[in-house]
Structure formats: structure tokens, C-alpha cells
Amino acid sequence: MRPARGRPRPARIVAFVLALLVYAAALFAAWAMSFAAAMGTLPVYSATTTATVTAMVSEVFPYGDDDYRPCGPRYTFMLDGVAVSASSPNVSERYCSLAVGGPIDITYDPSEPTSSAPSPRYDRSPAWVPTALAVGGHVVLALGIAALVAGRSKVENSPR
């Protein structure tokens, strides 16, 4: 004989609410990761040119026994016969191979040429990885919640 369906038991409601809260927390964490990844990328402006590296600035971050020493280029480029000097808005190990006096491709804002950044081609970090991990994590979490609910429903509705 099958039990009559009535109101959901409080334990089921608590489990469902808990699952929703865990899912919301995971969604927020994924959004925060994506936001951080987006903020870590360089700006890309509408105009491009080749500048000359005038200096390399190195920052030191203590990291265990070794130090992390990313570089940031300072560069100069000509715009309408005027030399414009600027520096990269961030530092990275990928810039350390640039040589003082050598070329660097940059993008800049024509209305404000001091707003510039190295070309995105120097950014070899795959920005899609955090997003793919976040989406994959949500799919796995949603499937897990669905399996949990389906499994509990099957156990509760099975003949005894």
C-alpha cells in the first residue's frame, strides 16, 4: 500500500533550502571568479601602434623560498610628432622577455593617448578557463541536486 501524499516533510524542505543555498553560494563564487578574471585583463583601446620600451620595472613578491618577480614595461610612442610616454597598467612574467630599446605593440585611446596598454597578444593566459570551470561546476552541482532529489523521491515512494 502506498502512503498518501501530503505535505512535504520538514526534513525535505530543509534539505531543499540547504541545496538552494549551496547552489546560490556556488553561483556567487563563480560570478566573483569571472569578475576577478575580467578585471585582471588589460584594457584594449581602439588605436594600435608600436612603441619603444624605455625601461622595465620589476616588482618582488615573496613566494616561499623563491620570489615572484613580474615585469612591467615603460614605453614611448610617437603620435602626431609628439612623444607620448606611458607604462603598462599591470605587471606580468610575460613582459620580462621584452628588451629595453626593443619594440612593443600597444593599444591606446586616441582621445587620451596616455591611456594605453600592451597589445592583447602578450596576454597568453586563457581567460575562458575560469568561466568554463564555473559553468562545469554548476552543471555538476545541478545534476547532483537533481539526482539527490530523484533518489530521495524514489526511496520515499517505493512500496514498503
Residue 70 phi, psi dihedral angles, 5° rounding:
-75, 155
Contacts of residue 117, Cβ cutoff 8 Å, sequence gap at least 6: 42, 43, 44, 45, 88, 89, 106, 107, 108
pLDDT value at 47 more than 60:
yes
Handedness of CA 37, 39, 125, 58 (dihedral sign): negative
pLDDT value at 68 more than 70:
yes
pLDDT value at 86 more than 90:
yes
pTM, rounded to two decimals:
0.53
Residue ranges of the alpha helices (H) in the chain? 10-39, 128-157
> Whose CA is closest to 76, among 45, 108, 122?
108
Rounded CA-CA distance 152/136 in Å is: 24
Rounded CA-CA distance 76/51 in Å is: 5
pLDDT at residue 63, rounded to an integer: 72
- Are 59 and 91 in contact, with CB atoms under 8 Å apart? yes
